[in-house]
Structure 1
Amino acid sequence: MTAPVAFCDVDETLIRVKSMFRFLEFYLARRGEPAATYERLMAGFRADAAGGVPRQEINRAYYRLYAGEDARRLAAAGRDWFAAECERGGFWVSATRRALAGHVAAGEPVVLVSGSFSACLDPVADAVGATWAVGTRPVVRRGTLTGEVLVPVIGATKGRVAHHAATVRGADLAACTAYGDHASDLDLLTAVGHPVVVGTDPVLDSHAGRLGWRRLPNDHAPAPASAPAPTPAPAPLETV
């Protein structure tokens, strides 16, 4: 019988930070941008969220910041960002990481599902022994990001990823597990037979209470603040 799959959201489910934004802060500092650049961009994202702009559109806007950037340089920066986060400490949601280690030890494939992208997800996936990391995929032409993406992996798309991955693996979704921390993970959680709520999101808490879903703590103390990247490159980031 094919082993069941363990699906896992990443930001604030497996790690205690929002990877896209922490990476952006790191990358801008590495490119020699002042801290005010990051603060201005974040203020714009927050205003969009407060104004009701859909998460999918905010996700697309984020990736437009990387138009013209070299994909290999972003991947290398992602590895350096991950190393810096781990060195700082407080990066992982410990209960979720232990749970995934249990799935790996049992021979069950782990699939990370996130609106983040490979620069952030690949080192996280390697660290936890994940089989796949499925994230938002920037369009790359001749090694350079165009600023557009294929499909933001948010909301209902996460549920579709679970269905597709289970089909490819030949796994029964009723035997699979999924971990999520936010209402936007609901489609992922309801796709499997063993949903696990990480943290205390009120929407997920309501489902967990009514349906008997398992719960895990999400390490309530805030993760340490990001620090500037130590090695700036000479050119500024043209798109910001």
Structure 2
Amino acid sequence: MPAETAAPRALAFFDVDETLITIKSMFDFYDFFLAAIGHSEEEQARLREQARSLLKPGMPRKEGNRLFYRRFAGYGTAEVAKHGQAWFDKRLAEGGLFNGDVLAALRRHRSAGLNTVLVSGSFTACLDPVAEHAGADAVLCTRLEEQGGVYTGEVLRSMIGDGKARSARELITELGVSAADCHAYGDHTSDLELLTLVGHPVVVGDNAEMRTEAAANGWPVLEGLPAA
């Protein structure tokens, strides 16, 4: 957040993939990127399969995330960002990109004077257009190393596992707000540490484990309804 921005009275944290938006941004963008940079259909299929293999059981999520981002080594950050905007524009025009009920909640929090923060294992090429459209105030995400405007393929900061809650906690402390006054939205059990950090957690979607947590703790649930 800009240094000159006055500290908000509270924060509202939003997971992105399958919470604020209906898809997994990293993989969906990667599919778009492969076509945009001119890979043949056969090569696209091979690289897509390799990327999705990183989600297979037994692969630690943080390690899979790190290996995924190696695929952008050697590409210019500006070029990747340009493709990220084109991917977002295409997806938005197709409809159904955002969960309308979650996007509406984000905008209500902003209207009420809270700062809204996207928290995601994805990276800026995907998330900056999402944040701009949604009107989010800040983005906490996986940060990639770059040298001379080119991605090296290394990850400087991961937002997988406990990374979301840790970064949210650091921001809460930095801004001097009360965690009890903050809100958080998530769809997956990996978001539970973030949700339990704040005083107002909200479960999104139909994940059975998350629904059980919501029922046990009296948390509200949003269905996650795709907007047209």
Which letter maps to 1:125?
A
Q: Pick one of 52, 72, 76 that aligns with 2:78.
A: 72
CA RMSD, 1 decimal: 1.7
Superposed CA deviations along residues 12-36 of structure 1, whole A, max 9, x for unmatched, are 0000111111111111111111233
Structure-1 residue corresponding to 2:4? none
Q: Is the 8 A contact 1:155 1:186 kept in 2?
A: no
1-structure distance, mates of 2:154, 2:207 = 30
Question: 2:203 maps to which residue?
Answer: 197
Q: What residue number does 1:35 align with?
A: 41
TM-score by length of 1: 0.88
- Structure 1 segment 59-98 matched on structure 2, within 5 A: 59-98=65-104
Compute the displacement of 1:202 (Å).
Answer: 2.1
Asked whether the 8 Å contact 1:16–1:90 carries over to 2, the reply is: yes
1:44-55 equivalences in 2 (<5 Å): 44-55=50-61
Instruction: Return the alpha-carbon distance in structure 1 between the equivalents of residues 44 and 198 of structure 2.
Output: 38
Write the letter of the residue equivalent to 1:87.
Answer: A
**2:3 corresponds to:** none
Is the Cα–Cα contact under 8 Å of residues 24 and 38 in structure 1 kept in the other structure? no
1:186 aligns with 2:188: no
Aligned partner of 1:120 among 113, 117, 126: 126
Q: 1:150 to 1:96 in 2, by over 3 A?
A: same
Change (3 A) 1:186 1:36: farther
d(CA) in 2 for partners of 1:38 and 1:107?
A: 44
In the alignment, structure 1 residue 149 sits paired with structure 2 residue 159: no
Q: Secondary structure at the match of 2:126?
A: helix
- Deviation for aligned residue 1:147: 0.4
The reply on whether 1:6 has 2:12 as its aligned counterpart is yes
In structure 2, the partner of 1:57 is 63
Distance 1:81 1:140, change over 3 A: same
Of the three residues 198, 213, 222, the one matched with 1:216 is 222
Q: So what's the TM-score if we normalise by structure 2? A: 0.92
Identity rate, percent: 45
Number of corresponding residues: 222
Kindly state the Cα deviation for residue 203 of structure 1 after the two structures are TM-superposed.
Answer: 2.2
CA pair 207-69 structure 1, distance change in 2 beyond 3 A: same
CA 1:85–1:220 in structure 2 vs 1: closer, same or farther (change >3 Å)?
closer
Measure, in 1, the Cα distance between the counterparts of 2:161 and 2:93. 31
Structure 1: gaps (5+ residues) = 224-240
Q: Tell me if structure 1 keeps the 8 A contact 2:99–2:226.
A: no
Counterpart contact for 1:112–1:132, Cα < 8 Å? yes
